[in-house]
Structure 1
């Protein structure tokens, strides 16, 4: 997996320009793989479409596999989740620094088929985060689960990502956009038609929302 090591080193080089090697305070001995190196490995796996830890560690170069075990990698990855998200936002800000045109859209994240709603126990532990039933206009289908909302630059860099229950209308995602972006053009489909939101985005952050 020469590509994995090369991509890892490229990503790590960029991360070192925007963050430090130590992101968490450790009470025990110093880890062989620094926090930033672990985050670089996480982002490399995402970039290369490796969604299985088994596959990742089977193909991990010796230079990295000798520094960390899979169970420790998984545990530290969870502990670093907030820092990973913070670094993603910093990267997006750098990559999109000179962008002034973005696209907003949503897609269904189906948890199970409609017929299995009553039997499904997935993510029902808490009421506030439970999935529900929604409708996808572009695919003309009802589904049970969540919606993935995203804003992306024309070069393919995600500026903002969020998840909501399936029943939440697309337009509600834009209410928080004015705190994340400004002075730009935002393109969406007919699901984002709202004169109130359009005026609010323009007045608060000079965001021109268009739905051609």
Structure 2
């Protein structure tokens, strides 16, 4: 439990240098736990490998468990997802400020069996983000779902994490992120070698 408290306080201290305490406007009452504290608790759980909210709230010290209930934490964490990503990008930029080399790769995220894909209703709320059928050359398999694209520094700090439908080629992902990574060397497998920046 002491580890959780110490990690929480240390992460909160770093976050206070990057962002304001309150990130969302509230209409009714002022919450006991500020937005940055909720984000710090979420990042602490991730850092410590606590992937179950039940387990997290069993380990919470009293001074934190009195501030927020589990259902409220879950709701607020979902509302803060955009702000969490913005903070993650700020942290990555500060860690990777002087990096010249990055590694880029992707992996398949299979969400459904191919033979059942026509009946699938998973992730089909918006047409622009429909999953579809793709091929993974390294594993020699067709799959239905998405591709996870990741760019990280040689020190292991993630600069960019993105999802695309399975049929999107690596080259199109590189075109999307070239403004973020303009003055650096990207190291990748054969799927990325066809890309040439024409600007």
TM-score interval, normalised by the smaller of the two chains: over 0.9
CA displacement 1:51-109 (0-9 Å, x = unmatched): 22222222222221110011111111122111111101100001111111100000111
Equivalent in the alignment of 1:210: none
The question of 1:98 aligning with 2:91 is answered no
Measured in 2, the distance between the counterparts of 1:2 and 1:120 equals 45
Aligned residues: 199
Task: Pick 1 or 2: higher relative contact order, CA cutoff 8 A, min separation 6.
Answer: 2
Q: How does 1:44-123 map to 2 (within 5 A)?
A: 44-123=44-123
Q: How does 1:182-201 map to 2 (within 5 A)?
A: 182-194=182-194, 197-200=195-198
Equivalent in the alignment of 1:42: 42
TM-score calculated relative to the size of structure 2? 0.94
CA displacement 1:138-181 (0-9 Å, x = unmatched): 11111111000110001111101110111111111111222212
Q: Shift of residue 199 of structure 1? A: 3.2
TM-score calculated relative to the size of structure 1? 0.88
Q: Which runs of 5+ in 1 are unaligned?
A: 204-212
Equivalent in the alignment of 1:165: 165
Measured in 1, the distance between the counterparts of 2:75 and 2:133 equals 33
Equivalent in the alignment of 1:7: 7
Measured in 2, the distance between the counterparts of 1:145 and 1:50 equals 27
Equivalent in the alignment of 1:209: none
Q: Which runs of 5+ in 2 are unaligned?
A: none
